[in-house]
Structure 1
Amino acid sequence: MYLLKMNEVSMEVDGKPLFQNVSIEVKENERVALIGENGTGKTTLIKGILGIESINNGQISCKVENYQIGYILQESDIDVQLPLKDWVMHDHPNYFHKVDLEAYTEQMQYSSHPIVIEKYNESLKKYLGLDGYQWEIKVEKLLHQIGLYPETWAIPFSKLSGGQKTKAKLTKMMLLNPKLIILDEPTNHLDLQTTEWLGHWLLNYKGTVLFISHERSFIDQIATSTYELTDNGTKRYSGGYSSFKKQKELELKTQTLQYEKQEQERKKLSQAIQQYKQWYVKASSKASVRDPYAQKKTTKHVKKYKAKEKALERLKENEITKPAENPTIKADITPGDFFAKDLIRLENVSKSYEKYLVIQDVNLHLERGDRLAVIGENGSGKTTLLKLMIGLIKPNIGEVKHHPQIKIGHFSQELQNINTTNTILDEIMEIPRMKQSDARNILASFLFRKEDVFKQISDLSMGEKCRIAFVKLYFSNANLLVLDEPTNYFDIPSREIIEEALVQYPGSIVMVTHDPYLLRKISNKVVSLKNKQANLYLGSYQEWEEHKMLSPKQQQLKNELERLELKYSELLASELDDDSLLNEIQSVKERIGFIQDKLNN
């Protein structure tokens, strides 16, 4: 049974069509992802469902009462002075009984009047009947689980960080236990750990979910089906983002084959039409009243010519459009010559802000070719570590050493330095030795096509400005890119272009991001910040994910396996050829097999 159904819906913004032919069906207990490029109208569509904005055409049917719908919108930041904990509880029916009970409790401290005592007892009885104290425990437990600890509970909601506000909104919604949840970018400002926790909560939630997200790992974790929104409507795909991607690739392959077959048929028909025309002209010149055979031949050519023309018309009526090519980076990136092994060293580094210690006794060595992922919860010191590494701030204790030839490109600085009075093309042309033809090709690779390049930067969205900043950074001749949340504000196509660019980049990279897809694709080392300490893992983010899931005993076996595999390679490469060596090789091989079996089982 469906809970939410949309049929042939269209919407406009300021009189301009945004999308049309949108049909979506969300069944009970489904978790449906809504994806699409920035600007296609995903948030507007959600507002149409909620009745916040009007639809122009079509029908929306919802079998859930308004009070049973829990939702979070991107722009719903409210400037309120209520403390965090009170704001979270405020919309729950129990909250008003709690406030009443607290008021009578306070009166009891100053008065023992029978009416006051009676009112207090009535209020207490009602609150106990509602399991009010159990509800308060549930609130505090949920706040802890989502990462909002007691020291934040008295902070006014308006004073919270972006991540804290998102967590507060999620907690508030969860407490209401809605039947249908609608979320617009719920992972914005959340760290990896909280995003993962939210995913587990939604998987265990006994209800229906419709959500917008650009976080591909989150979509894979949550979605049972995915709708893609374009200006021409929606299409449903089974599963999460990885499944959607495979189905889209198959569609593209099928459409390409159909297009090629169509073009072959078009060419064949055009040639046949031309041939029959020539034969008709030739035959008609010979035909006369006295030559019935030539007349018959001419008529025959005309019929064939007309039949082929009709076949060509039918082909045009059912024309298959040429599939759009996926954009690829078409440029050679060559950072300045840099052959040294060491780029940056942090030795016994500690950093405090006033009396608050952020990181302590960090020792870190960045080498040429490193692609370092810096991970940790919000507030763990990731941005501070990046600023220390590139010299934007100084440590209180310890030393940061740079190779004299290092050239650092910093994403945040590049974004701040964009000249908003320029057009996109003018801004890119400021890159040294940049030709206009190269600039146009590069911009097309980063999804700025045709007349888009003449748009003024001041008129662009934040996501578009970030793309321009990335292009300038990418071609800045830097041999080290430092990226702090580079994919914020990016839709999925933009993220995939950035990923491709970073895979091709020949220099070193240090990056902070909450996008697991990007981390898995780019990193070859991981620094995990926890309890003011920096722990280095010599492996990719995907390997680190597997590593953190191992028990101490499993990790011990894995470490032994890596040592034995290295020893096995060295023994095989040995030039000695005697029985003792062969016996040792056999012994090591058997031990490797034994450990692999234990790990697999």
Structure 2
Amino acid sequence: KALLGNPDLLVLDEPTNYLDLKGVTWLERYLTHFAPAVVVVSHDRYFLDEMATQIWEIDHGRMNTFPGNFSKYRVLKIERDLRQAKEYEAQQEFIAKEQAFIDRYRAGQRSREAKGRETRLGRLERIDRPDLDRSISISSGGASRTGQVVISTKGLKVGYTDGDGPIELLKVPDLKLARGSRTAVIGDNGTGKTTFIKTVLGMVPPLDGFVAVGQSVKVGYYSQGVDDLDDEQTVLESFLDIKNMPFEDARSYLARFLFQAEDVFREVGACSGGEKSRLALARLLITEPNLLVLDEPTTHFDIPSREALEQVLLIYTGTILLVSHDRHLVSLLAESLLVTANGEVDYFKGTFDEWSQAQRESEVQEATARVIKRVKAAPRFQPVKATDPKRRNPAAPVIDMEQVIVDLEDKLKEIETQLQIATVNQDFEAMTRLGEEHISTQSRLEKSLEDWDT
């Protein structure tokens, strides 16, 4: 609705939160090439890398601006923070040295010099102490050893049963998830990703086939953050429900998830979405599972918390099965993909970037094949031999109009093929150039046909 209003300024607040891959990709292309000025609030780093040309950072009550996309912002921010820290430390060292001189000679023979230094020191513009960001501090617990095959499926069909009978969502190929593997489940909204995960975990019965969990597997399931939390419990009580331990140990552990001081006595129902997600993650990791099943784990997380979670998962030695629309997380973590589409699960051995490249190449090939098929099916110009020789001007140079028309038709079809490929690749510069060339060639062809008729 906001896009259809043809605004001069488009303001978007977390626009990718509930969009699937297809929706996010379309939005990125629109905002990058067609939209007016855009101000967007987002924690989606992949999205910000694709569309942002400037970053406005709100940090400890101050607004800072950086040129470029998110990746460039991170580099510039680190450089700025290091520079500010060095400047602050140098000034503090200077202040301490001056103050020591003032204190030593305040009442001695050099009291006038000491007083002058004290005056100058009082007028010195102080550099603020660099602020430190609060972020989750998580260490990865050791994952106990499992059998070689952690999860396997055979003839599995995923779905649910309602009043009209079974509704099949997905046919799953026979799978074997190996110990230590990292697999991401991706696909459009509504294709059955969460139902697939719940079927694998035995929470939803399969319509057909079976799932086998390997030997010594201890599952840790993160269900979009907050499903199992009791709003009436305090944060501390909710945590202790999972693992009983001394209060001080529990409070120390929760502090690493930013629940400090009196925060642990707040009711879960009064917590924000991000706080509930952090609590759910704390409850999960304290159990030290050797199979992590994560369903949209970064929802409600700010960027520092997402990065902290990524570092934990990168050094985690167990097996990971992940459902996520967070392309940065999937790109960083997954070694293979399960892609849900058209009622089936396709296994892709490779990273998200490799899959994305394969998808683009496939789209280009399909688009080219469609254009070639259309070109072959299009009727070609059939010349009709002129019967009245008087219609040709004997003084005019001889022009083979038949060949001119055939050449223009061939050129038009070639432009259409290139234009289709440029459209698939979102090469908007080429699209503009080819579009103008198509109009010009079409005009020349029409003029040549008129000349031929007359």
Q: 2:172 & 2:330 partners in 1: Cα distance?
A: 25
Q: What is the aligned partner in structure 1 of residue 112 from structure 2? A: 303
Match of 2:175 in 1: 364
Q: Is the contact made by 1:422 and 1:456 (CA closer than 8 Å) also made in structure 2?
A: yes
* Unpaired stretches in structure 2, ≥5 consecutive residues: 366-454
**Secondary structure in 2 aligned to 1:198?**
helix
Q: Is the contact made by 2:310 and 2:329 (CA closer than 8 Å) also made in structure 1?
A: yes
For residue 340 of structure 2, what is the aligned residue in structure 1?
Answer: 529
Do 1:446 and 1:497's aligned partners in 2 also have CA atoms closer than 8 Å?
no
Q: 1:448 to 1:350 in 2, by over 3 A?
A: same
How far residue 535 of structure 1 moved from its aligned partner, in angstroms, is 1.6
Where does 1:535-554 land on structure 2 (aligned, <5 Å)?
535-550=346-361
Change (3 A) 1:513 1:206: closer
Change (3 A) 1:310 1:444: farther
Aligned to 1:399: 210
Q: Which residue of 1 aligns with 2:69?
A: 240
Partner of 2:296: 485
**Among residues 192, 195, 219, which one is paired with 1:381 in the alignment?**
192
CA–CA separation in structure 1 for the residues paired with 2:240 and 2:198? 29
One-letter amino acid of the counterpart of residue 341, structure 1? Q
Q: Aligned partners of 1:475 and 1:249: how far apart in 2? A: 32
Q: Which residue of 1 aligns with 2:425?
A: none
How far does the alpha carbon of each residue in 1:43-76 deviate from its partner, in whole angstroms, 9 at most, with x for none?
xxxxxxxxxxxxxxxxxxxxxxxxxxxxxxxxxx
Q: Deviations over 1:488-542 (max 9, x none)?
A: 2222233222222222322211111111111112212111112222221222223
Counterpart pick for 1:324 among 129, 132, 138: 132
Q: Which amino acid aligns with 1:406?
A: V
Whole-angstrom distance in 2 between the partners of 1:530 and 1:414: 25
Task: Measure, in 2, the Cα distance between the counterparts of 1:175 and 1:549.
Answer: 27
Relative to structure 1, the CA distance from residue 523 to residue 206 in structure 2 (aligned partners, 3 Å threshold; closer, same or farther) is closer
Q: Which residue of 155, 160, 163 corresponds with 1:348?
A: 155
In the alignment, residue 309 of structure 1 is paired with which amino acid? E
Task: Give, in whole Å, the separation in 2 of the partners of 1:417 and 1:206.
Answer: 41
Counterpart in 1 of 2:79?
Answer: 250
Native 8 Å contact 2:140 2:312 kept in 1:
no
Measure how far apart 1:413 and its partner are: 8.5
CA distance in 2, matches of 1:418, 1:318: 47
| Partner AA of 1:301 in structure 2 | R
User: How many pairs align?
Assistant: 361
Question: Aligned in 2, Cα 1:330/1:492: closer, same or farther, shift over 3 Å?
Answer: closer
Contact 2:336 2:351 in 1 (8 A): yes
- The answer on whether the counterparts of 1:406 and 1:480 sit within 8 Å (CA) in structure 2 is yes
Once the two structures are superposed, the pairs formed by residues 572-583 of structure 1 within 5 Å of their partners are none
C-alpha distance 332-516 of structure 1, shift in aligned 2 (>3 A)? closer
**What's the CA shift for 1:343?**
0.7
Could you tell me how far 1:208 is from its partner in structure 2? 2.0
CA–CA distance in structure 2, aligned partners of residues 441 and 375 of structure 1: 36
Matches within 5 A, 1:398-477: 398-412=209-223, 415-432=226-243, 434=245, 436=247, 438-477=249-288
For residues 212-231 of structure 1, the aligned pairs below 5 Å read: 212-230=41-59
Among candidates 178, 199, 219, match of residue 28 of structure 2:
199
Sort the Cα spacing of 1:435 and 1:249 in 2 relative to 1 into closer, same or farther, 3 A. farther
Q: 1:405 to 1:492 in 2, by over 3 A?
A: same
Cα separation, 1, equivalents of 2:123 and 2:239: 46
Map of 1:41-120 to 2, 5 A cutoff? none
Cα drift, residue 387 of structure 1: 0.9
CA distance in 1, matches of 2:266, 2:112: 54
Partners of 2:319 and 2:20 lie apart in 1 by 24
In structure 2, the partner of 1:264 is 93
Report the equivalent of 2:308. Answer: 497
Secondary structure of 2:173's counterpart equals strand
1:447 touches 1:494 (CA, 8 Å); kept in 2?
Answer: no
Partners of 1:516 and 1:413 in 2: how far apart?
16
Q: Give the drift of 1:189.
A: 1.3
270 and 509 in structure 1: CA distance in 2 versus 1, 3 angstrom threshold: same
Cross-structure match for 2:40: 211
Shift of 1:450: 4.3
Relative to structure 1, the CA distance from residue 428 to residue 355 in structure 2 (aligned partners, 3 Å threshold; closer, same or farther) is closer
* Distance in structure 1 (CA, Å) of the matches to 2:243 and 2:355: 39
Q: Is the 8 A contact 1:330 1:441 kept in 2?
A: no
CA 1:538 to 1:203, structure 2 compared with 1: closer, same or farther past 3 Å? same
Hey, what's the Cα distance between the residues in 2 that align with 1:215 and 1:486? 13
Of the structure 1 ranges 468-477 and 223-232, higher mean CA displacement relative to structure 2 is found in 223-232
SS of 2:217 mapped into structure 1: coil
Matched residue type, 1:347: K
TM-score for the superposition, normalised by structure 1: 0.55
| CA deviations over 1:4-39 (Å, ceiling 9, x no partner) | xxxxxxxxxxxxxxxxxxxxxxxxxxxxxxxxxxxx
Structure 1 residue 190, shift from structure 2 partner: 0.9
Between the aligned residues of both structures, percent identity stands at 34
**Paired residues for 1:114-153 under 5 Å:** none
Q: In the TM superposition, what is the alpha-carbon distance from 1:191 to its structure 2 partner?
A: 0.4
RMSD between aligned residues: 2.7
Q: Distance in 2 between matches of 1:468 and 1:345?
A: 31
Deviations 1:215-243 (A, max 9, x none): 11112211221212356342222122212
Change (3 A) 1:416 1:356: closer
Change over 3 Å in CA distance of 1:174–1:320 after alignment to 2: closer
Change (3 A) 1:473 1:327: same
Counterpart code for 1:329: S
TM-score by length of 2: 0.72
Distance 1:551 1:195, change over 3 A: closer
> In structure 1, what is the Cα distance between the partners aligned to 2:304 and 2:286?
20
Q: In the superposition, relative to structure 1, how do residues 414 and 229 fare at CA in structure 2: closer, same or farther (>3 Å)?
A: closer
Sort the Cα spacing of 1:504 and 1:434 in 2 relative to 1 into closer, same or farther, 3 A.
farther
Structure 2 Cα separation of the partners of residues 237 and 321 of structure 1? 21
Instruction: Answer whether contact 1:181 1:209 (CA < 8 A) is retained.
Output: yes
Q: Return closer, same or farther for 1:466/1:552 CA change in 2, 3 Å cut-off.
A: closer
Structure 1 gaps, min length 5: 1-171, 281-297, 555-601
Distance 1:207 1:415, change over 3 A: closer
Q: Which amino acid aligns with 2:97?
A: K
Aligned pair in 2 of structure 1 residues 440, 198: CA closer, same or farther (>3 Å)?
A: same
Q: Say which SS state the counterpart of residue 267 (structure 1) adopts.
A: helix
Shift of 1:479: 0.9
Corresponding residue number in structure 2 for 1:84:
none
Q: Which moved more, 1:407-416 or 1:215-224?
A: 407-416
- Paired with 2:62 and 2:127, the residues of 1 have a C-alpha distance of 19
Indicate conservation of the 8 Å contact 1:411/1:470, yes or no: yes
Question: How many angstroms apart in 1 are the aligned matches of 2:245 and 2:315?
Answer: 19
Q: Which amino acid aligns with 1:333?
A: G
Cα shift at 1:400: 0.6
Q: 1:387 to 1:202 in 2, by over 3 A?
A: same
